[in-house]
Structure 1
Amino acid sequence: MKVLFAASEAVPFVKTGGLADVIGSLPKELAKLGVDVRVILPKYHDIPEHFVEQMEQVVAFQLQMGWRNLFCGIRQLVHEGITYYFIDNEYYFNRTGCYGYGDDAERYAFYCRAVLDAIQHLDFMPDVIHCHDWQASMIPVLYRAHFSYQPEYAHIKTVVTIHNLRYQGTFSKDAFKDYFALGDEHFGGYALEMHGGASFLKGGLLYSDYITTVSPTYAEEIQTPYFGENLDGLLRSQAHRLTGIINGIDYEEFDPMSDPRLEIHFRDSLVKKQQSKMKLQERLGLPVNKDVPLIALVTRLVDQKGLSLIDRVISELMALDAQWVVLGTGDQQFEQLFQWAANTFPDKLSAQIRFDEPLARQIYAGSDLFLMPSLFEPCGIGQLIAMRYRSVPIVRETGGLKDTVQPYNEETGEGTGFSFANYNAHDMLYTVERAVQLYREPEVWSRLMANIKKKDFSWRKSAQQYAALYENLQSAEAAIG
């Protein structure tokens, strides 16, 4: 089984969010199952130089995009046993960052076209092209329109994975007609049309052979108006070829026993966990006290992450006998909120308004509790890393948070964290209060640690589900679509 992952970012080359973690770790687990999986990415300016130096030029060719005749180079690099291809065009990709440019429609139109054109120049003809998020979602449309009738391409199946339905790649219809050379029949209501323009993601959902998203609960949620981002009707109509497969984390990359960013390594030792906390308290300028619970947020500071709930009850949260650390960047209102809290309650909260991966690992290792009160969360990776580093999650019951955190039950002793259902600041406050209270009951905390220890959030099970999906798509009796 040959599978080509098409995505706009991947660890360790370039990262803006959780998508990069998935693309950096899932292929390695699929390879263990015997899948020949390769990854194709844009060659961005920000890729570290030591990786660029290792890349080999595979081919260079001219690519037709609308009326444009464009240069396309393909470079290749093998990293941790996985072959990565990089699409090279300096005009489109030799810039700082990945997204947010005025010509993003044209840049990712080029990327989608280049993926399909490149295949004939590689020594790799995929059985499945697995497209991730909007940036790669026009690949199934282009495949159906321009490639599916070519004999050497005819067997290929396409899968689209929604990592976050909010981001849909919606641009003007004129741009789509220009870049993709598609006729008017592609722009009716039941086609690419979206909000008067056209959408990369909608095209992928309609023209792919199968749709996945990153947790079973999110797969259900996006079929409702509240979570569906104006695509819930389409997704309900395609429910027969939509499934949710939970994301995992790379257990070798995220391992408190060997993480080079940690001074103290541990697995299940509460003593060493507390030593990690005291090191962190000292570094952050918080009072050093192993008995005070330390609550962490490592997140993008945006509304999706539930930060307006924290804003609503910030004084009550600061009144708890607990310490807080916040790491992340984002919307100015939330950056200012946490800076204000750090200035007003310097013994209670440390605000680290930056992106700092080594510090993030130290916070996972040193915190006792990890708060994710998200408005919506397709999967979430923070709660999985937190449990791996034995920090107990406090989450809202939505998307992947609901699928991965089992609420603690004092009567049965079951559960791996704390949760609340309604998007309500006082429900969150009550849940945080309960978690802080139970932290001071050693028997409860030991039970929580034992329950978390039994959980497996590696990619193993999820990779098996993806491999089975690819096999089903390729088998003759699969009648999907």
Structure 2
Amino acid sequence: MNILFAASEAVPLVKTGGLADVAGALPAALGGRGADARVILPKYGSIPPELAERFETIAVFKVRLGWREQYCGLLKADVDGVVFYLIDNEFYFRREGLYGYGDDAERFVFFSMAVCEALFHLDFRPDIVHCHDWQTALVPFLLKTRYAYEPVTRDALTIYTIHNLHYQGVFGKKLLQDLTGVGDDLFDGPAGLEFYGAGNCMKGGIQYADMLTTVSPSYAEEIQTERYGEKLDGLIRWRAGDLRGIVNGIDTASFDPMNDSALDTPYRGSLVRKRKNKLVLQRELGLRESETTPLIGIVSRLTGQKGFDLIGPILEELLQEDVQLAVLGSGEARFEEMFRSAEARHPGRAATWFGFNDRLARRIYAGSDLFLMPSLFEPCGLSQLIALRYRSVPVVRETGGLKDTVTAYNEFTGEGNGFSFAGANAHDLLYTVRRALSFYRDGEAWQRIVDNGAREDLSWSRPAKAYMALYGELASKRKEKSGWPVTS
């Protein structure tokens, strides 16, 4: 089976978030199960030169964007066993950042159209085009409208994955009409892109893809509700029969405390060896060195979505406990000031590092005893998976992928790999942290919780198996509709 991933970012070429991990790691895992899974993304100026120079141009063509015709180059290279294609247009993509420009609508409408045009020039024919988030949401729409009768594209099946429903690619109606060349009859109709007087790219993907996925079963249920549905819940409920939730994995070879060069002491299940890394982290961050003091780690964007409004009201009470806090991240100024002030009031007990530092993040995962992640919503979440991999016990709110991957410890059965609370309430969070701390003081119970987490399969093996089954299900549906013989 041939699969083409269309995404706006993918490791190891370029990354801003979890989407890049999925778009880079999942194709490799699918390849291990017999699929030919390849990736197409923009040729950004921020792709490292040592990787960019591997690519060779295989085609040059024009992309019609409204009344314009824009140059497009198609490049190809094998990177770490996965074939990548790059869409080259320096006007749109030779920039340092990936997103946040005033012409993002034009840039990613161009990219979606270029992906469709590239199907005529690729050196393989995809059975399924797997699109990700709003930046490629127009691909299913275009394939079912503009390209519906082209011999090369008319049989292409599409899957659309929602990584975060909050970011939908909503732009002015006239702008999107101009870029896509779609008239009022299609744009405003029941199956159009119109969205409360504007235009919505993600709506096109949800309506026109043959199947839909999102990144956890719980998030698949949540986005069908008004609370989490971001005004698309009605449409998602309409497509509920075609929606699946599949939890992401992580690269367990990269995130491996036995072979992580960022750590001082390699370890697997030994808490004694893990706590040697805690001492090194405490020394690095200016915290009081103590193997026995529980250290709470946070590695996150500092935004309201991540639950920091819940931390603020109880932060002082939390730091009255016998704990330490290590925070790495950046985001809203009010949250940065909240942690900066806490560090000033509690020297040696709270430490912050604003920005992103991958090696420090790994040391926090390894050096922390608990990992705090009280998100208001979390489609999947990777940090709690990495924490489990590094034997740091997660404390999470029961939402989305956090609910699906972290099970609250039950002292009567001995089951559970972390601690969780349901309500978006600050004192529920404080109670849950205190409960976790009570078990931390019981060495036998804590080892049991850590061991429970260590038994979890966090790799891409299970997600890849689930996606292969989904691809097979979609292909079978197409064969049944067309009258083709269905083979097992």
TM bin, normalised by shorter chain, reads: over 0.9
Measure how far apart 1:479 and its partner are: 5.8
Measure how far apart 1:154 and its partner are: 2.0
The unaligned stretches of length 5 or more in structure 1 are none
Q: Distance in 2 between matches of 1:460 and 1:185?
A: 45
Amino acid at match of 2:473: N
Which residue is 2:158 aligned to? 158
- The superposition leaves residues 220-260 of structure 1 with CA deviations (integer Å, 9 ceiling, x where unpaired) of 00000000000011111111101101111111111111112
Which residue is 1:206 aligned to? 207
Q: Check whether the contact 2:143–2:154 (CA below 8 A) recurs between aligned residues.
A: no
Secondary structure in structure 1 of the residue aligned to 2:322? coil
Q: Distance in 2 between matches of 1:450 and 1:36?
A: 36
Which residue is 1:313 aligned to? 314
- The superposition leaves residues 295-319 of structure 1 with CA deviations (integer Å, 9 ceiling, x where unpaired) of 0110001100000001111111111
Which residue is 1:182 aligned to? 182
Q: Distance in 1 between matches of 2:152 and 2:97?
A: 36
Could you state the TM-score of these two structures normalised by the residue count of structure 1? 0.98
Change (3 A) 1:256 1:478: farther
- The superposition leaves residues 251-299 of structure 1 with CA deviations (integer Å, 9 ceiling, x where unpaired) of 1111111112222111101111010110111111101100001101100
Which residue is 1:348 aligned to? 349
Q: Segments of 4+ in structure 1 off by > 4 A?
A: 476-480
How many residues in Structure 1 have an aligned counterpart in Structure 2?
480
1:439 equivalenced with 2:454 (yes/no): no
Secondary structure in structure 1 of the residue aligned to 2:471? helix
Which residue is 2:65 aligned to? 65
Secondary structure in structure 1 of the residue aligned to 2:21? helix
Range with bigger deviation, 245-254 or 177-186: 177-186
Amino acid at match of 2:236: L
Which residue is 2:29 aligned to? 29
Measure how far apart 1:86 and its partner are: 0.8
Measure how far apart 1:177 and its partner are: 1.2
Amino acid at match of 1:423: A
1:386 equivalenced with 2:369 (yes/no): no
Q: Check whether the contact 2:119–2:152 (CA below 8 A) recurs between aligned residues.
A: no
Q: Distance in 2 between matches of 1:142 and 1:189?
A: 15
CA RMSD of aligned residues (A): 1.2
Secondary structure in structure 1 of the residue aligned to 2:330? coil
Range with bigger deviation, 469-478 or 247-256: 469-478
Q: Distance in 2 between matches of 1:189 and 1:420?
A: 43
Amino acid at match of 1:187: F
Measure how far apart 1:187 and its partner are: 2.3
1:376 equivalenced with 2:390 (yes/no): no
Secondary structure in structure 2 of the residue aligned to 1:434? helix
The unaligned stretches of length 5 or more in structure 2 are 483-488
Amino acid at match of 1:394: V
Which residue is 2:485 aligned to? none
- The superposition leaves residues 57-82 of structure 1 with CA deviations (integer Å, 9 ceiling, x where unpaired) of 22222221111111101111211110
Q: Check whether the contact 1:162–1:212 (CA below 8 A) recurs between aligned residues.
A: yes
Measure how far apart 1:477 and its partner are: 4.8
Alignment of 1:166-245 (within 5 A): 166-188=166-188, 190=190, 191-245=192-246
Range with bigger deviation, 464-473 or 196-205: 464-473
Measure how far apart 1:186 and its partner are: 2.4
Range with bigger deviation, 359-368 or 58-67: 58-67
Measure how far apart 1:336 and its partner are: 1.1
Q: Check whether the contact 1:30–1:37 (CA below 8 A) recurs between aligned residues.
A: yes
- The superposition leaves residues 6-60 of structure 1 with CA deviations (integer Å, 9 ceiling, x where unpaired) of 0001112111111111112111110000010000011111111111121112222
Q: Check whether the contact 1:472–1:478 (CA below 8 A) recurs between aligned residues.
A: no
Measure how far apart 1:185 and its partner are: 2.3
Amino acid at match of 1:428: L
Secondary structure in structure 1 of the residue aligned to 2:129? strand
Which residue is 1:7 aligned to? 7
Q: Check whether the contact 2:109–2:179 (CA below 8 A) recurs between aligned residues.
A: yes
Q: Check whether the contact 2:215–2:246 (CA below 8 A) recurs between aligned residues.
A: yes
Q: Distance in 1 between matches of 2:270 and 2:324?
A: 21
Amino acid at match of 2:327: V
Alignment of 1:320-469 (within 5 A): 320-469=321-470
Q: Distance in 2 between matches of 1:147 and 1:325?
A: 52
Alignment of 1:248-263 (within 5 A): 248-263=249-264
Which residue is 1:110 aligned to? 110
Which residue is 2:293 aligned to? 292
Change (3 A) 1:479 1:427: farther
Measure how far apart 1:478 and its partner are: 5.2
Amino acid at match of 1:406: T
Change (3 A) 1:331 1:403: same
Which residue is 1:20 aligned to? 20
Amino acid at match of 2:280: K
Change (3 A) 1:68 1:261: same
Measure how far apart 1:146 and its partner are: 1.5
Secondary structure in structure 2 of the residue aligned to 1:299? strand
1:267 equivalenced with 2:255 (yes/no): no
Secondary structure in structure 2 of the residue aligned to 1:313? helix
Secondary structure in structure 1 of the residue aligned to 2:5? strand
Measure how far apart 1:417 and its partner are: 0.1
- The superposition leaves residues 136-189 of structure 1 with CA deviations (integer Å, 9 ceiling, x where unpaired) of 000011111121211222221011000000000000111111111112122226
Change (3 A) 1:211 1:459: same
Which residue is 1:79 aligned to? 79
Amino acid at match of 1:61: F
Secondary structure in structure 1 of the residue aligned to 2:289? coil
Could you state the TM-score of these two structures normalised by the residue count of structure 2? 0.97
Amino acid at match of 1:339: R
Which residue is 1:45 aligned to? 45
Which residue is 1:121 aligned to? 121
Secondary structure in structure 2 of the residue aligned to 1:146? coil
Measure how far apart 1:120 and its partner are: 1.1
